[in-house]
Amino acid sequence: MTGLYGIIGHPLAHSLSPLVHNWGFSRFGIDSRYEAWDTPPEGLAAFMDLLRQTPIQGLSVTIPHKTPVMGYADAVTDLGREVGAVNTLYWRGQVLWAENTDVEGFCRPLIEAADIPDTALVLGAGGAARAAVVGLKRLGLTRIGVTGRTPEKAAALAWEFELDSVGWEARAGFLAGLLVNATPMGMSGRYEALSPFPAEALRAGQVVYDLVYNPRVTRFVAEATAAGARIVSGLDMFLYQAIEQFRLWTGRVLPVEELRPLLEKALYGAA
């Protein structure tokens, strides 16, 4: 029987996940398909019933379900609990597990960039910031600051993970070897003209990790490049979280060098 996988979230219009996973199934000759199921918050309970009856063999989970879906799994990994959010459901026997592969997705591109700095500032205090913070802690950074436009949210995140809480207006003064953009600032559309960090405070040798990957070169990345910073790609974060999902479902590792051009073509129109 053809295996069934998919993603739930709301809205889901621009998800690249079906492209990645359907490519993976055909790449490895696996008789399965991956669909996008736009599911508003009030539809989550019914969807999770359906998942067990159908059954659906694996599920990607995105906004707004990453935290609520944990209550429908049989077990949540330690990492999922630490982040407080999951993006992947998979079966081991009769047990439906919930995992967070965003942390692995976040860490892998940094590890590959080598020379990870000791200090970091995470710009933003939402879900992606949580995954980034957990990843940075696992990578052993000695000092991590977090800042956001809503001070209470940044302060709460800082308190929960024992980080430095940095005022939004004071962010340029926090000396960090690594800057992580975990806000939508710079994203194509209404945020495109924005950057989360003042250009004049960027320094040569800094590492800049922009989780926003559309457009290919955000304002933050352009200004950081001009300042002589090293860039880590948010598209690679997306790629590696998807690769880890696929591995949990199938045991196969999608080749990143084949996958990256596929996504670049879909996103930017050229490899």
**Contact positions vs ligand NAP (CB under 6 A):** 63, 102, 105, 124-129, 148-150, 153, 182-185, 187, 211-213, 234, 237-238, 241
Q: How far apart, in whole angstroms, are the C-alpha atoms of residue 91 and residue 267?
A: 31
User: What are residue 207's DSSP bridge partners?
Assistant: 178, 230
Q: How far apart, in whole angstroms, are the C-alpha atoms of residue 108 and residue 126?
A: 21
The residues carrying an active-site annotation are 66
Query: Nearer Cβ to ligand NAP, position 149 or 260?
Result: 149
Query: Nearer Cβ to ligand NAP, position 73 or 131?
Result: 131
Query: Nearer Cβ to ligand NAP, position 58 or 184?
Result: 184
Nearest distance in Å: CB 49, ligand NAP: 26
Query: Nearer Cβ to ligand NAP, position 143 or 153?
Result: 153
Nearest distance in Å: CB 210, ligand NAP: 8
DSSP states of the chain: --EEEEEEESS-TT--HHHHHHHHHHHTT--EEEEEEE--GGGHHHHHHHHHHTT-SEEEE-TTSTTGGGGGSSEE-HHHHHHT---EEEEETTEEEEE--HHHHHHHHHHHH-S--SEEEEE--SHHHHHHHHHHHHTT-SEEEEE-SSHHHHHHHHHHHT-EE--GGGGGGS--SEEEE-SSTT-TTTTTT--SS-GGG--TT-EEEES--SSSS-HHHHHHHHTT-EEEEHHHHHHHHHHHHHHHHHS----HHHHHHHHHHHHHS--
Query: Nearer Cβ to ligand NAP, position 129 or 176?
Result: 129
Nearest distance in Å: CB 156, ligand NAP: 11
Nearest distance in Å: CB 103, ligand NAP: 11
